[in-house]
Amino acid sequence: MRAESNLENPLLQAATAELPPYPTIKPEHVEPALRTVIDDNRRRLAVLPAAATTDWSGLMRPLEEMEERLERVWGPVRHLNAVCDSKALRPAHQRGLMQVTAYRSECMQNEALFAAVERLQASPGFQGQPPERRQAVHHLLRDFRLGGAALPREKKDRFKAIQVRLSELGAQFEQNVLDATRAWRLHVRDTAELAGLPQREREAARERARREGLKGWLFTLDAPSYIPFMQYAENRALRRRMYTAYVTRAASGKLDNGPIILEILKLRREAAKLLGYKNHAEVSLANKMATSPREVIDFLRELATRSRPRAQGEIAELAEFARNRLHLDRLEAWDLDFAGECLRRERYAFSQQDLKPYFPEPQVLEGLFAVAGRLYGLRFEVRPEVPRWHEDVRFFDVFDAQGQRIAGFYLDLYARPHKRGGAWMDECIIRWRRPDGTLQRPVAHVVCNFSRPAGGNPALWSHEEVITLFHEFGHALHHMLTEVETLEVSGIRGVPWDAVELPSQLMENFCWHYEALELFARHYRSGAVLPRALFEKMRAARNFQAGMKMLRQIEYALFDFLLHVEFDPASGGSVQDVLDAVHKEVAVFKPPQFNRFQNSFSHIFAGGYAAGYYSYKWAEVMAADAFAAFEETGIFDAATAQRLRREVLAVGGARDMTEAFAAFRGRKPKVDALLRQYGLLPLSTTKSGD
């Protein structure tokens, strides 16, 4: 700490605090705190490679310290920008992002440092280091090369400029999506226009209007408002308006992401060539489980081929149902969810709304904790005095079977204005053996956008929302149950993207087993357990339109992947052409011409999933296969859970994932468990397991 004012900067205090002091962090703290840390790091880096003895404590320890201090300052800012965006924080975050990106890029191109790490790897004592340290060094050298460290001067400068620009473009893309989502709303004043919408959705819409000081009902393009509207609203014209607004977000005017997409693709391609790769897909695979673009494309096409016949049957059936029962002669894009929900209700005689009373928030949380408790012997305790960024947020300590505190996490459940949409888990603090020998315990952020308690009732969630919570908590367990002490391979750090969804998707499966559900799925008024018959319907309904859903995901994944393999903005053609070709190959329903879903496809343009969206399916194959191990032994089988914890969760990025999976399962992943899960295999081979 140098300048006096720095002593009062909470972000700099945060570098050593147990937890980030969220409520005291102000936008004006960001720039000076980052400058202080980055300047300090630069000074240390200027002398480190030359002075370093080529051993762990001489080189890697200081690097870990520098990275940790920076992340402890920058992490909270990044997080606040996602959960309570404000006019003042936005530019501070944007400037901070540029500072951090420029610094990181500079580190990754530091030739002296690169050479020092190479020397370390080649040194005689290195092979005697624990595997997690060797893995961290291996990753670091790989990232150096991917970061341009091996490039000659002029190429290096260009590469660096590209990275800075790409990070700006990604942030702008995301901002445009957020602004476009917020800029549009449907204000309903006439009750007749609410026909079909369940009472709870009406109440939520009324509450939304009330918060804005409006009469009537307000619907927005945020998921908790948009999705039920599209499922239930009988008014076709309004559905069309909602749909049109949704799929044309950030597609015109000041918020148009079209030019941003082109520039991103052009720059990614140029950067890949500088590194000696043919395209960005090859760059993306350099640190993934999948070994070649061909392997990924074949994987996706095989899944598509095996799902397509069924999806064709499903869409034909839906069109017929819509014609005969809903008097919709031609099925339009804005009818799909509505008609689908009607057909589902008719066929299974229940809807997501019937399930919600069985999933009141307090019991779902209890159930989640009970499942984690049975599997891993964990216990969770709320700690109310922890400073948080919003009053809705809760903090929990995590204790192991011996009663020792091993981790903590923040839980931010409800949708609210100025909060990024969707759900995610993010690292807050990483498990790490500090240079002074003490152990830093991991802390996670678990963030969702669920409905909040309303009208004096607890929040009632859909089964999908329950699954989402389990999913994110699966990530959090991966982060919190690590036993690694080396910063860069601890928890989810260093885990390949295409494997990182394994623990999360595995957790989802528990929401599909009565043995797990009966722990918590009880009616919020009567206390009655979810009826077995209703559960059986849920299971039967699970595979409703499974072929179509599978194809939609493959369509996104293949579009993303081909865009980063084949598409060259310089040689004519358009992003839309690639998308159209993928639609033609994969999809069974043609979306309208005006659909610009790519303009809000943040995963691949702002979220790090570029040429990596296939990872969801890739990991899902592993997760389904891993869960099959639980089905074979009993879903709460302690030995299976212990083996998963030991071989996969505890080792984080320190171990090769192909190897970790094989150690758990006794073999490589097979695709069959996933196809079975979606009902895409003949019934005769279906295992009965629940």
Residues annotated as part of the active site = 472
Secondary structure E strands in 415-522: 424-429, 432-433, 439-440, 443-450
Token pair 């026909």 in the structure block, residue: 195
Q: Which region among 154-162, 503-511, 551-559, 617-625 touches Zn ion (by CB under 5 A)?
A: 503-511
Cβ proximity to Zn ion: between 209 and 507 the closer is 507
Cβ proximity to Zn ion: between 117 and 467 the closer is 467
Token duo for residue 460 = 């009632």
For residue 173, the tally of other CB atoms under 10 A from its CB is: 23
The least CB distance from residue 469 to Zn ion, in Å, is: 12
Categorise residue 421: left if φ over 0, alpha if ψ from -120 to 50, beta otherwise.
Answer: beta
The least CB distance from residue 677 to Zn ion, in Å, is: 17
Q: In degrees rounded to 5, what are phi and psi of residue 189?
A: -115, -15
**10: nearest Cα among 59, 63, 76:** 76
Cβ proximity to Zn ion: between 41 and 504 the closer is 504
Amino acid making up residue 615: S
Considering CB under 5 A, how many residues would be counted as binding Zn ion? Answer: 2
**221: nearest Cα among 193, 183, 252:** 183
The least CB distance from residue 423 to Zn ion, in Å, is: 8
Cβ proximity to Zn ion: between 470 and 661 the closer is 470
Q: In degrees rounded to 5, what are phi and psi of residue 257?
A: -85, -5
Q: Which region among 26-34, 194-202, 383-391, 504-512 touches Zn ion (by CB under 5 A)?
A: 504-512
Cβ proximity to Zn ion: between 81 and 504 the closer is 504
The least CB distance from residue 285 to Zn ion, in Å, is: 20
Q: Which region among 216-224, 226-234, 499-507, 649-657 touches Zn ion (by CB under 5 A)?
A: 499-507
- The DSSP H or E segment spanning 397 is strand 394-399
The least CB distance from residue 504 to Zn ion, in Å, is: 4
CA distances from 203 to 2, 153, 422 (A): 54, 62, 22
Strands 439-440 and 185-188: unpaired
| In contact, 205 and 193? CB cutoff 8 Å | no
Max Cα–Cα distance, the chain, nearest Å: 79
Distance CA(260)–CA(167), nearest Å, equals: 11
Distance CA(377)–CA(387), nearest Å, equals: 27
Q: Which region among 431-439, 495-503, 511-519, 602-610 touches Zn ion (by CB under 5 A)?
A: 495-503
DSSP 578-605: HHHHHHHHH-SSPPPTT--GGGG-HHHH
The least CB distance from residue 476 to Zn ion, in Å, is: 10
Helix-strand-coil percent breakdown of the chain, rounded to 5? 60, 10, 30
- Based on the shown chain and the rule CB under 5 A, indicate whether residue 468 belongs to the binding site for Zn ion: no
Cβ proximity to Zn ion: between 465 and 501 the closer is 501
**80: nearest Cα among 419, 311, 387:** 419
For residue 403, the tally of other CB atoms under 10 A from its CB is: 7
Cβ proximity to Zn ion: between 105 and 505 the closer is 505
Distance CA(229)–CA(221), nearest Å, equals: 10
For residue 436, the tally of other CB atoms under 10 A from its CB is: 5
Q: Which region among 371-379, 498-506, 520-528, 560-568 touches Zn ion (by CB under 5 A)?
A: 498-506
Cβ proximity to Zn ion: between 430 and 448 the closer is 448
Distance CA(112)–CA(47), nearest Å, equals: 10
Q: Which region among 90-98, 102-110, 500-508, 676-684 touches Zn ion (by CB under 5 A)?
A: 500-508
Token duo for residue 611 = 């040429």
Cβ proximity to Zn ion: between 222 and 501 the closer is 501
The least CB distance from residue 450 to Zn ion, in Å, is: 16
Pattern 47-66, Zn ion, x by CB under 5 A = --------------------
When CB distances to Zn ion are compared, the closest residue is 504
Q: Which region among 207-215, 268-276, 291-299, 494-502 touches Zn ion (by CB under 5 A)?
A: 494-502
The least CB distance from residue 636 to Zn ion, in Å, is: 23
The least CB distance from residue 480 to Zn ion, in Å, is: 15
Distance CA(550)–CA(81), nearest Å, equals: 33
The least CB distance from residue 670 to Zn ion, in Å, is: 22
| In contact, 263 and 570? CB cutoff 8 Å | no
- The DSSP H or E segment spanning 622 is helix 615-633
Query: Which of 129, 504, 509, 677 is the binder for Zn ion (CB under 5 A)?
Result: 504
Token duo for residue 229 = 């509207």
Number of helices (H), then strands (E), in the chain: 28, 9
State the residues that interact with Zn ion by CB under 5 A: 501, 504
